[in-house]
């Protein structure tokens, strides 16, 4: 089967005519080593079979525009005014990205006007009363040591026309949006209004998703920090479970639609006996259901550790009430961890088995920590790629990493679907191998 057909074309504001101020940094003018060749592409496919399935000539193979510095850029740095905003939930690394953007813009491109818009998209709307702050090297010094975002964030819909009014009135040329899928939808709307008005404002996204659920991006920033932190909770749950007869440790981790954190945390410490994720529905009751399996396991081995992603088993929680939504219209999930805690306790009691169940939900402790060194490196490199793209007049795109290379991904593509654990893929296979749980509870 030929791989999916995708449009990888990135929108640009116009021809690049200005010599990049990075020239002194990027060695001799003869060398094209650091500059990106504007005709180069990062191939979408990376196996011989995938390429063969396209039955296409090399230049017809789909490829992403590579990230990195261009010899010629679109914006005159001394006249460029930049805005940065963070939206949606917290994720480790937000401050690293903000700092990376500011330092690259100021130190290497010589941009002097950078505004931090506060509290998400509210920061562009006068009635909320959050005036932007000036950002420079001093303002972002050391911010990467802390979790959260120095700019603040928010949810809730704002009028893209009013946002563009604000950008126009402040003569902003480049807007960086650091946020999740909702924020990227917002960024695309802003880029579309900019286009509709014939303005030359680049809108560049740095995608933030602690759940690692953005497609066409190998891994999202903050994800590694998140699952490393979740691993600590699994370790605690394991120690607790082993310390008592028939102990059960239950950990709920983040993952609304994608169970990557649950899978990676379970693989990282090898102590989990069950991993429940949204992508793999499970049966609770019956001889082959999860509860019976868990009981048998505890009887045989004396204890068990269960990891559940927050989006797992939502089908059990659809009670009579209509689904609630948050300010941004995202469906509020019911609490699978609390539900499982009750059902496991009831089930053991019904079968006359004593148990001691310890429930751990580390979500907020995970979201708010600073990025680990790996994610910090990744954040800074994403920020560099975002600045290079913006200065070269790209727009309506996010920076990503595909097959280990930094690339430009059109926003429309990045929000077109969700990256999920493939129940038939090798990651889930590794989880089954590690936990010993059945392929399906059915």
Give the catalytic positions in this structure.
Answer: 211
Does 411 belong to an annotated binding site? no
Convert residues 266-295 into a mask of x (bound to ligand ATP by CB under 6 A) and - (unbound).
------------------------------
Identify the residue among 246, 269, 330, 372 touching ligand ATP (CB under 6 A).
330
**Pairing state of beta strands 81-86 and 356-360?**
unpaired
189 binds ligand ATP (CB under 6 A): yes
Which entry of Mg ion, ligand ATP, none binds 155, CB below 5 to 8 A by partner kind? ligand ATP
Phi-psi region of 231 (alpha: psi -120 to 50; beta: other; left: phi over 0): alpha
Task: Figure out which of the listed residues 225, 328, 376, 434 binds ligand ATP, where binding follows CB under 6 A.
Answer: 328
Reference 221, options 212, 213, 230, 233; nearest CA is 212
Answer for the pair 94, 183: CB distance below 8 angstroms, yes or no.
Answer: no
Nearest residue to Mg ion on Cβ basis:
180
Interaction partner, residue 87 (ligand ATP, Mg ion, none; CB < 5-8 Å by kind): ligand ATP
By CB under 5 A, tell whether 181 contacts Mg ion. yes
CA 161 to mean position of chain CA atoms: 27
Stretch of 173-181, 272-280, 292-300, 344-352 lying at the interface with ligand ATP (CB under 6 A):
173-181
The tokens describing 358, both together, are: 């310890």
Q: Is 394 annotated as contributing to ligand binding?
A: no
Among 66, 88, 278, 311, binds ligand ATP (CB under 6 A): 88
| CA angle centred on 358, ends 355 and 360, rounded to 5° | 155
Taking CB under 5 A as the binding criterion, the range among 65-73, 173-181, 234-242, 291-299 that sits at the site for Mg ion is: 173-181
Instruction: Find the shortest distance in angstroms from Cβ 155 to ligand ATP.
Output: 3
- Asked if residue 271 lies in contact with residue 436, where contact means CB atoms within 8 angstroms, the answer is no
Phi, psi of 34 (to 5 degrees): -90, -30
Residue 180 touches Mg ion, criterion: CB under 5 A? yes
In the list ligand ATP, Mg ion, none, the entry touching 186 (Cβ below 5 to 8 angstroms by class) is ligand ATP
Q: Quickly list H helices, 40-125.
A: 48-54, 94-103
8 Å CB contact between 247 and 302: yes
Residues 127-156 that bind ligand ATP (CB under 6 A): 155-156
In this complex, which beta carbon is closest to Mg ion, that of residue 180 or of residue 370? 180
Q: Is 367 annotated as a binding residue?
A: yes
**Of 256, 271, 225, 215, which is closest to residue 401 (Cα–Cα)?**
215
In the complex, what is the shortest distance from the CB of residue 361 to Mg ion, in angstroms, rounded to a whole number? Answer: 19
Per-residue mark of binding to ligand ATP, 208-247 (x: CB under 6 A): -x--------------------------------------
The partner in contact with residue 328, picked from ligand ATP, Mg ion, none with C-beta cut-offs of 5 to 8 angstroms by kind, is ligand ATP
CA distance 291 to 312: 15
- Give the footprint of ligand ATP on this chain (CB under 6 A): 87-89, 120-121, 155-158, 179-183, 185-186, 189, 209, 328, 330
């Amino acid at each position: 089967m030929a791989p999916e057909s995708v449009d990888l074309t990135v929108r640009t504001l116009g021809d690049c005519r200005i010599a990049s101020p990075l020239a002194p940094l990027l060695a001799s003018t003869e060398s094209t080593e650091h500059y990106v060749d504007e005709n180069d592409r990062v191939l979408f496919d990376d196996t011989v079979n995938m390429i063969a399935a396209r039955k296409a000539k090399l230049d017809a193979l789909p490829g992403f525009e590579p990230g990195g510095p261009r010899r010629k850029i679109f914006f005159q740095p001394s006249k460029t005014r930049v805005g940065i905003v963070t939206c949606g939930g917290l994720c480790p690394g937000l401050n690293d990205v903000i700092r990376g953007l500011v330092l690259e813009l100021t130190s290497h491109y010589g941009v002097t006007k950078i505004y931090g818009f506060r509290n998400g998209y509210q920061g562009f709307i006068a009635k909320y009363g959050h005036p932007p702050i000036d950002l420079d090297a001093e303002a972002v010094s050391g911010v990467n040591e802390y979790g959260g975002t120095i700019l603040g964030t928010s949810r809730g819909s704002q009028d893209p026309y009013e946002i563009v009014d604000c950008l126009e009135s402040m003569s902003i040329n480049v807007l960086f949006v650091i946020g999740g899928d909702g924020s990227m939808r917002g960024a695309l709307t802003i880029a579309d209004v900019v286009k509709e008005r014939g303005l030359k404002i680049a809108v560049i996204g740095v995608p933030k998703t602690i759940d690692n659920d953005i497609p066409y991006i190998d891994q999202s920033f903050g994800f590694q920090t998140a699952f490393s932190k979740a691993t600590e909770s699994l370790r605690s749950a394991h120690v607790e479970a082993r310390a008592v007869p028939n102990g059960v440790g239950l950990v709920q981790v983040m993952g609304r639609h994608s169970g990557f954190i649950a899978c990676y945390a379970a693989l990282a410490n090898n102590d989990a006996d069950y991993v429940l994720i949204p992508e793999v529905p499970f049966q609770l009751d019956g001889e082959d259901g999860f509860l019976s399996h868990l009981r048998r396991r505890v009887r045989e081995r004396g204890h068990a550790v269960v990891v559940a992603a927050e989006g797992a088993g939502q089908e059990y929680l659809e009670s009579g009430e209509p689904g609630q939504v948050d300010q941004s219209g995202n469906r509020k999930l019911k609490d699978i961890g609390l539900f499982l805690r009750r059902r496991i306790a009831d089930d053991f009691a019904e079968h006359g088995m004593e148990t001691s169940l310890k429930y751990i939900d580390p979500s907020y402790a995970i979201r708010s920590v600073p990025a680990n060194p790996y994610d910090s490196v990744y954040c800074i490199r994403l920020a560099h790629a975002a600045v290079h793209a913006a200065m070269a007049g790209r727009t309506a795109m996010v920076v990503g990493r595909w097959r280990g290379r930094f690339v430009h991904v059109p926003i429309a593509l990045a929000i077109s679907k969700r990256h999920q654990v493939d129940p038939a893929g090798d990651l889930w296979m590794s989880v089954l191998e590690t936990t010993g749980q059945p392929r399906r509870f059915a």
